[in-house]
Each structure stands twice: as C-alpha cells, then as structure tokens.
C-alpha cells in the first residue's frame, strides 16, 4: 500500500491527464500490493525481512511475490545480505581500511550471530542494526541455497575490496566492477533457480550481461547523486569516456558544458546497449512463467531507463525516473517474450528518434539500436502493445473530450484510493 501511495503522490495530476491508460495498471498494482501485504509471514524475522525489502527495494518486493514460497524466501535473504554488503560500500564516510576487511570477510559474518556493524543511513542503517534477523532467515533456507548466497557474497566482497582503491578508468574496468556488484547477483539467481529444480543454469556470460545492463542504467541515471556524494564523490563513469569531453567528471553537471555533457551521456548509453542481445538470449531460455516475469520486468525497466536518459540533460540536473504509471504498465504487461520483444523494440525506437546528426557516436548508436530491433522483428513474436513512454502532441488528452474523460477517470481513481 505504501508503494502505491508514494507512486500516486509522485505522479502529478497533469501526468495522469496525459496518460489515462496508466490508471488501470496503477489500480492493478494496488491490488497486487494488498495481496502481497497479506502474504508477509508473522514470524518476527520473516516479517522484518519482508518489510525491510519493501522499504529498500519496493519494485523487487513486488516482483518476487509471484514466486513459490521457498524460492521467494531464498531470493529475499539473498537480496538483503547483498544489500547489507552494499550499504558498507555506499557509506563513503567510512575509511577504506575499515571497509576492506569487512568486504573480504562479509561472507563469514553472515553466519556469525555475534557480528554487528552499524553504518549507512535511514532504512539501510536499520537493516545493518538488525541484521541478525536476516541471519536467522538464512539458516532456515535449504543448504544448497545457502551455499549460493555465501559464494556470491564472498566473490562480491572481494570485488568491492578491489575497487575501493581503484578508479574506473576504462570500459573494461566498468564492466569488471559492474560484474562484481550486479553480474554476480544474476549469476546467483540463476543458481538458485537451478537449485530449486525449476530452470537450467544460464551461462555465466549471459547472466552477467543482465546484471551489467541493469547496473549501467542505474549508474547513468544516478550521475548527479553519485558525483555529489558527501564526503567523497562516487565516480563510476569511465575516465576513458568522459575525458574526451571535460577535464573533470563533475564538470559535466555545469550548464556551460551542456552540449559536451549530452554527447558524453549518449556515449555511456551506447556502451550499455551492447548487453541487450545477451539479455534477450537469456530471457528466451526460461520455462517457468513466474521466474520469467521476475527476470524480465527489471530488464524492460532498464532499457526504458536508458531510453529516458538518452540525450536528456535532466540526468545532470537530477535522476530522471520512469513515470509511476509506466512502471505499473511494465509490471502488469510483461508476461511473455512477445511482450519483451515489443517493449525492447519500442524503447529502442524512442532512442532512435532522439539520435542527433551531430552526435559523435550517432552511427554506432544507430547501428546497435537497429541490431536489437532486427532481433525483435526476426523473432516473429513482437506484439503491438505500447508502453507510451512518449506521446504525440496530438494525442488523446489534447481533445476537449479527452480532457473531460481523463478528469473523470482521475476522480474515480482518487475515490477508489480513498475508500481502500
């Protein structure tokens, strides 16, 4: 319920008027969340874990609900263990010589009932302070699932320790870092799916590509938040890219560098596009419908985020986000490979429309976008469903009747929210 209220609060009335097609998916999302709330176990440790997930990863809280209980609990604990490890990395107020030993030994700490380390802020600090409840849940999982979580935690911690004192200078550095913090997560998920007997193991390079796509989208979108991090900026954009445009990475946020900043941003997005083909390969191999939806939804949102960020100066003014109604549509409509091909095709079309003739990477960007669109077309599975990430100025809501109907729908929508 809290997620829907927050989504609606974020969505201005003008946004809903422009996109009345968002209303039904938002209402469906409300119902999904009501059912998810009812499924939260009463045991104190499980109740804490599910409520904590709802706070630190609301979208993830929704997508895991469709999985069976055993797998859902394992993925829940998997995520929270790694979220705790990530909280140590995110807390830049901690000196490196404090964090490095924790990174390297974190996989052992998850079994130590006495170990405790307070860091982070807000909900993540609460997670760290009450991490013993996550450990309790971990010990109730199948041994094979615990081993996957332990192994990924060990490898991720080692990668974080490596990059705590190492700059991301090249694209290879970026790919290696993102493999540690995101690619390993997807590799771990694949191993959990296999351990549950529901799916075959996804090859590591393909699984890692999924993580690289998701994390690249986050790194691009979160430029301003990372560069303004106190006491020390977090810099994940490779030096070998931004040095072609400015002298210092933080210079991209200044208005006088807007043209160079857009070209740099577009090169970052173009670099991320190389992971799309492997994502489609990985998705096409799944058999279990629930796992497919769990796996596919974040990838559709990632390419949607890339489409939103491409050639968008707002990346340097704040973190642009997909509108709440569009997220609800993705959650509601991503069910089959047909949906995925349709979404990938549409979002790549959005990017193609924004490629400027004077952009130094225009030809490479178009080549990569057209390659993905060819895969989507050649599949023979593409549907005509639209996510409406952008709308024509001559669309439905610009007619007088459209405005009247939209206002009526919004009024009904507000009433339904109020009585529930």
pTM exceeds 0.95, yes or no: no
**Mean pLDDT on 176-182:** 97
Of 329, 256, 251, the C-alpha closest to 297 is 329
pLDDT tens digits, one per residue of 94-149: 999 999 999 999 999 999 988 999 999 999 999 999 999 999 999 999 999 999 99
- Tell me the catalytic residues: 177, 221, 234, 294
Q: Which of 78-82, 143-147, 218-222, 227-231 shows the lowest mean pLDDT across its residues?
A: 227-231
Quick one: what percent of the chain has pLDDT higher than 70?
Answer: 87
Task: Give the whole-angstrom CA distance, residue 168 versus residue 184.
Answer: 18
| Helix segments in 139-235, DSSP class H | 143-163, 171-178, 184-195, 204-221, 223-227
* Helices 204-221 and 184-195, packing angle to 10 deg: 140
Inform me whether the pLDDT recorded for 392 exceeds 70: no
Using one digit for the tens of pLDDT, what is the confidence trace for 319-377? 899 988 888 889 888 999 999 999 999 999 999 999 999 999 999 999 999 999 999 99
306/270 Cα distance (integer angstroms):
9
Distance of CA 209 to the CA centre of its chain: 14
Centre a 10 Å sphere on the Cβ of residue 112 and count the other Cβ atoms it contains: 11
Cβ 120 vs Cβ 92: under 8 Å:
no
């Amino acid at each position: 319920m809290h997620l829907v209220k927050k989504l609606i609060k974020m969505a201005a009335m003008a946004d809903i008027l422009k996109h009345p097609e968002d209303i039904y998916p938002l209402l469906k999302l409300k119902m999904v969340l009501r059912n998810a709330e009812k499924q939260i176990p009463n045991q104190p440790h499980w109740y804490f874990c599910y409520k904590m997930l709802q706070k630190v990863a609301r979208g993830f809280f929704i997508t895991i609900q469709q999985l069976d209980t055993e797998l859902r609990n394992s993925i829940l604990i998997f995520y929270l263990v790694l979220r705790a490890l990530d909280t140590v990395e995110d807390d830049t107020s901690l000196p490196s010589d404090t964090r490095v030993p924790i990174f390297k030994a974190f996989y052992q700490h998850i079994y130590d009932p006495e170990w405790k380390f307070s860091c982070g802020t807000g909900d993540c600090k609460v997670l760290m302070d009450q991490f013993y409840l996550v450990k309790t849940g971990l010990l109730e999982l199948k041994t094979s699932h615990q081993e996957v979580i332990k192994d990924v935690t060990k490898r991720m911690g080692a990668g974080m320790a490596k990059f705590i004192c190492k700059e991301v200078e090249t694209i290879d550095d970026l790919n290696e870092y993102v493999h540690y913090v995101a690619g390993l997560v997807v590799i771990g998920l694949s191993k959990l799916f296999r351990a549950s007997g529901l799916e075959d193991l996804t090859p590591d390079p393909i699984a890692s590509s999924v993580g690289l796509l998701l994390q690249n989208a986050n790194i691009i979108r979160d430029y301003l938040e990372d560069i303004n991090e106190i006491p020390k900026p977090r810099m994940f954009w490779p030096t070998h890219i931004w040095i072609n445009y400015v002298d210092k990475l933080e210079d991209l946020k200044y208005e006088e560098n807007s043209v160079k900043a857009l070209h740099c941003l577009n090169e970052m997005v173009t670099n991320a596009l190389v992971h799309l083909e492997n994502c489609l390969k990985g998705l096409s191999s799944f058999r279990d419908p629930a796992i497919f939806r769990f796996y596919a939804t974040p990838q559709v949102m990632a390419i949607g985020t890339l489409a939103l960020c491409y050639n968008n100066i707002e990346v340097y003014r704040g973190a642009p986000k997909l509108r709440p109604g569009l997220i609800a549509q993705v959650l509601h409509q991503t069910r089959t490979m047909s949906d995925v091909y349709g979404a990938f095709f549409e979002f790549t079309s959005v990017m193609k429309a924004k490629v400027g003739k004077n952009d130094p990477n225009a030809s490479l960007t178009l080549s990569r976008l057209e390659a993905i669109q060819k895969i989507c077309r050649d599949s023979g599975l593409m549907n005509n469903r639209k996510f409406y990430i952008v709308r024509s100025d001559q669309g439905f809501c610009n007619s007088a009747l459209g405005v009247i109907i939209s206002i009526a729908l919004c009024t009904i929508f507000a009433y339904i929210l109020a009585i529930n």
